[in-house]
């Protein structure tokens, strides 16, 4: 009887080890999916920053009376760039993503003001290079919104996986915590 008891314990230990490996690999796969999704969002943000720089350069010459708004956009863009760099390192970490969410919201509001400045000044909205630049920025914003949605879905899948029992116990032991969406 002792012999059967030992085999039962060994079988239980083997099941726990294989389950732990499988659960860990599944969570790592979902964590990597967050990084992949952030890569797409990062591409859209990089294009957004480049386009913002281009518009700032063009508008500084044409709207000297709006330097305060343009300076606010430049500052918001610098903050959003810095926050994006922090998230690139660990896209599953909650604190850098929270900082990016705030910086991206401020940057988005500043870009919206910039677009309204262009549309408000009739002489600017009829210039083909500025009108095209504004249209391009709007397209980039749609792509960024879609990439953000994909990122948030990846975060949701990861968080759901680490909240499940008994995976939650294993993940807290390993040190994994919930990710934050944008």
Closest Cα partner for 147 from 39, 31, 50, 48? 39
Contacts (Cβ under 8 Å, ≥6 apart) of 114 = 52, 55, 56, 59, 69, 70, 73
Domain count within the chain:
1
At 49, which CATH number? 1.20.1440.20
- In terms of residue numbers, what domain contains 143? 2-174
User: Where residue 90 falls among pLDDT bands split at 50, 70, 90?
Assistant: very high
Considering the domain boundaries, does residue 33 fall inside one? yes
Q: Output the pTM of the full model.
A: 0.86
Q: What is the model's pLDDT at position 105?
A: 95
Give 66's DSSP letter.
G
Q: Answer yes or no: is 182 within a domain.
A: no
Dihedral class, residue 164 (left if φ above 0, else alpha if ψ from -120 to 50, else beta): beta
In a domain, 179, yes or no: no
- In this prediction, residue 145 carries a pLDDT of 95
Q: Is residue 180 predicted with pLDDT exceeding 60? A: yes
The answer to whether position 57 is within a domain reads yes
- In the structure, what pLDDT confidence band is assigned to residue 152 with cuts at 50, 70 and 90? very high
180 part of a folded domain: no
Query: Which distant-in-sequence residues (6+ apart) come within 8 Å of 5 by Cβ?
Result: none
Instruction: Select, from the ranges 6-10, 13-17, 115-119, 150-154, the one with the highest average predicted confidence (pLDDT).
Output: 150-154
* Structural domain contains residue 117: yes
**What ranges in the chain are assigned the alpha helix state H?**
2-62, 67-89, 94-120, 122-125, 128-163, 167-174
- Region 70-96: what's the mean pLDDT? 94
Q: Rounded to 5 degrees, what angle do the CA atoms 55, 59, 63 make? A: 160
Assign 107 to helix, strand or coil. Answer: helix
């Amino acid at each position: 009887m002792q012999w059967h008891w030992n085999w039962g314990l060994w079988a239980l230990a083997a099941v726990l080890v294989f389950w732990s490996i499988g659960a860990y690999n599944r969570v790592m796969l979902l964590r990597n999916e967050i990084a992949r999704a952030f890569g797409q969002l990062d591409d859209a943000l990089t294009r957004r920053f480049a386009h913002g720089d281009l518009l700032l350069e063009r508008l500084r010459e044409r709207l000297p009376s709006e330097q305060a708004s343009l300076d606010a956009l430049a500052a918001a863009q610098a903050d959003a760039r810095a926050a994006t760099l922090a998230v690139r390192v660990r896209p599953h970490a909650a604190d850098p993503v929270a900082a990016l969410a705030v910086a991206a919201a401020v940057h988005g509001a500043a870009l919206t003001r910039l677009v309204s400045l262009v549309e408000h000044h009739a002489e600017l909205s009829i210039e083909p290079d500025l009108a095209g630049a504004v249209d391009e920025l709007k397209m980039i914003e749609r792509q960024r919104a879609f990439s953000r949605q994909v990122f948030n879905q990846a975060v949701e899948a990861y968080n759901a996986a680490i909240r499940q029992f008994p995976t939650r116990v294993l993940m807290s032991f390993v040190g994994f915590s919930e990710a934050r969406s944008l």
